Chains A and B, each alone.
Chain A
Amino acid sequence: MKALEVYKLLPKTNCKECGFPTCLAFAMKLAAGGAGPERCPYLDEETKALLGGATRPPVRAATVGVGARSFTVGEEIVMFRHEKTFYHRPGIMVCADDTSPLEEVRRNAEEVRDLVVHRVGQDLTLDGIALRCESGDPDRFAAASMVVGECGDLPRLLITADPGAHAAALKVCGQFLPLIHAATAENHEEMAGLAKRYGCPLVVRAETPEELADLAARCTAAGVRAILLDPAPRTVGDFVARASHLREHAVKRASPDLGYPLYLDTTTLGTDAALAAGILRYAGVIAVPPLPRPSLLAALTLRQNIYTDPQKPIQVTPGIYPVNNPGRDAPVLLSVNFSLTYFTLLGYLEAGKIPCYLFVVDTAGLSVLTAVAGGKLDEDLVKKSIESTGLAGTVDHRTLIIPGYAAPLSGRIEDATGWNVRVGPRDAAEIAEFLEKGE
Chain B
Amino acid sequence: MTERITEVAVGATRTEGGTRTRSYRVGGASALPGMGDAGARPLIALEICDDPALWPVVVLEEVGDLAGDLSGWAKAAEERWGADLVRLVLTSTRRRGFDDPASSGKAVGEVLAATGLPLIVEGSIDPALDTGVFRRCGEAGEGERLLLGTAEAERYRSVAAAALAYGHAVLAQTPIDINLAKQLNILLRETGVPHDRIVIDPYTGALGYGFEYSYSVMERVRTAALAGDADLAMPVISAAQDSLTVREVREAPEGERVETAVQWEFYAAFSAAVAGAGIVCVRHPGTVGMLREAIADLWGGEGWR
Interface residues of A (CB under 8 A from B): 80-82, 119, 208-209, 233-245, 248, 269-270, 272-273, 276-277, 280-281, 292-295, 297-299, 301-302, 304-306, 308, 310, 340, 344, 347, 373
Interface residues of B (CB under 8 A from A): 32-35, 175, 207-209, 211-213, 215-216, 219-220, 223, 247-248, 252, 256, 259-260, 262-264, 266-268, 270-271, 274-275, 290, 293-294, 297-305
Contact indicator A235/B264 (Cβ below 8 Å): no
A297 to chain B, nearest CB (A): 6
Partner of A277, one of B211, B219, B274: B274
Contact indicator A306/B208 (Cβ below 8 Å): no
Contact indicator B302/A237 (Cβ below 8 Å): yes
Contacts of B301 in A (CB 8 A): 233, 235-242
Contact indicator A273/B270 (Cβ below 8 Å): yes
A293 to B262 Cα, complex, angstroms: 12
Give the residue name and chain of the A residue nearest to B208 (CB). Answer: A301
A308 to chain B, nearest CB (A): 5
Contact indicator A80/B208 (Cβ below 8 Å): no
Give the residue name and chain of the B residue nearest to A246 (CB). Answer: B304
B245 to chain A, nearest CB (A): 11
Give 11 A-B contacts (CB < 8 Å), ordered by A residue.
A80-B216, A235-B297, A235-B298, A237-B34, A273-B294, A280-B271, A294-B262, A294-B263, A298-B207, A298-B263, A305-B207
Contacts of B298 in A (CB 8 A): 235-237, 240, 273, 277
Give the residue name and chain of the A residue nearest to B176 (CB). Answer: A370
A295 to B252 Cα, complex, angstroms: 12
Contact indicator B302/A241 (Cβ below 8 Å): yes
B293 to chain A, nearest CB (A): 7
A342 to chain B, nearest CB (A): 14
Contact indicator B215/A298 (Cβ below 8 Å): no
A239 to B294 Cα, complex, angstroms: 13
Contact indicator B304/A304 (Cβ below 8 Å): no
Give the 4 A-B CB pairs with smallest separation, nearest first.
A237-B301, A241-B303, A240-B34, A273-B294
Contact indicator A82/B303 (Cβ below 8 Å): no
Are A80 and B223 also in contact (CB < 8 A) when A235-B301, A305-B212 are?
A: yes
Give the residue name and chain of the A residue nearest to B295 (CB). Answer: A273
Partner of B208, one of A239, A244, A304: A304
Contact indicator A236/B294 (Cβ below 8 Å): yes
Partner of A244, one of B34, B213, B264, B275: B34
Partner of A245, one of B256, B297, B303: B303
A276 to B294 Cα, complex, angstroms: 10
Contacts of B256 in A (CB 8 A): 292-294
A363 to chain B, nearest CB (A): 15
A290 to B215 Cα, complex, angstroms: 27
Contact indicator B271/A245 (Cβ below 8 Å): no
B60 to chain A, nearest CB (A): 19
A307 to chain B, nearest CB (A): 9
Contacts of B271 in A (CB 8 A): 276, 280, 302
Contacts of A292 in B (CB 8 A): 256, 259
Contacts of A347 in B (CB 8 A): 247
A297 to B208 Cα, complex, angstroms: 10
A290 to chain B, nearest CB (A): 15
Contacts of A119 in B (CB 8 A): 208
Contacts of A302 in B (CB 8 A): 207, 211, 267-268, 271
Contact indicator B294/A270 (Cβ below 8 Å): yes
Interface-centre pick from B211, B216, B267, B299 (highest chain A CB count, 10 A): B267
B39 to chain A, nearest CB (A): 14
A286 to B152 Cα, complex, angstroms: 40
Are A241 and B304 also in contact (CB < 8 A) when A269-B297, A305-B215 are?
A: yes
A414 to chain B, nearest CB (A): 29
A236 to B260 Cα, complex, angstroms: 22
Give the residue name and chain of the B residue nearest to A347 (CB). Answer: B247
A268 to chain B, nearest CB (A): 11
Contact indicator A242/B303 (Cβ below 8 Å): yes
Are A297 and B34 also in contact (CB < 8 A) when A270-B297, A276-B267, A276-B271 are?
A: no
Contact indicator B263/A243 (Cβ below 8 Å): no
A277 to B32 Cα, complex, angstroms: 13
Name 10 extra pairs, CB < 8 A, besides A240-B33, A273-B294, A281-B34: A234-B302, A236-B294, A237-B301, A242-B301, A244-B35, A272-B263, A302-B211, A305-B215, A344-B247, A347-B247
Contacts of A310 in B (CB 8 A): 212-213, 216
Contact indicator A82/B34 (Cβ below 8 Å): no
Are A294 and B252 also in contact (CB < 8 A) when A272-B263, A308-B212 are?
A: yes
Are A235 and B216 also in contact (CB < 8 A) when A294-B263, A298-B263 are?
A: no
Give the residue name and chain of the B residue nearest to A269 (CB). Answer: B297
Contacts of B215 in A (CB 8 A): 81, 280, 305-306
Contacts of B264 in A (CB 8 A): 294, 297-298
B276 to chain A, nearest CB (A): 11
A416 to chain B, nearest CB (A): 28
Give the residue name and chain of the A residue nearest to B32 (CB). Answer: A244
Contacts of A280 in B (CB 8 A): 215, 271, 274-275
Interface-centre pick from A209, A236, A304 (highest chain B CB count, 10 A): A236
Give the residue name and chain of the A residue nearest to B243 (CB). Answer: A298
A120 to chain B, nearest CB (A): 8
B67 to chain A, nearest CB (A): 23
B33 to chain A, nearest CB (A): 6
Give the residue name and chain of the B residue nearest to A270 (CB). Answer: B297
Give the residue name and chain of the B residue nearest to A233 (CB). Answer: B301
Contacts of B290 in A (CB 8 A): 272
A276 to B247 Cα, complex, angstroms: 21
Contacts of B300 in A (CB 8 A): 235-238
Give the residue name and chain of the A residue nearest to B303 (CB). Answer: A241
Give the residue name and chain of the B residue nearest to A249 (CB). Answer: B304
A23 to B215 Cα, complex, angstroms: 43
Are A237 and B299 also in contact (CB < 8 A) when A82-B216, A272-B266 are?
A: yes
Contacts of B175 in A (CB 8 A): 373
Contacts of A305 in B (CB 8 A): 207-208, 211-212, 215
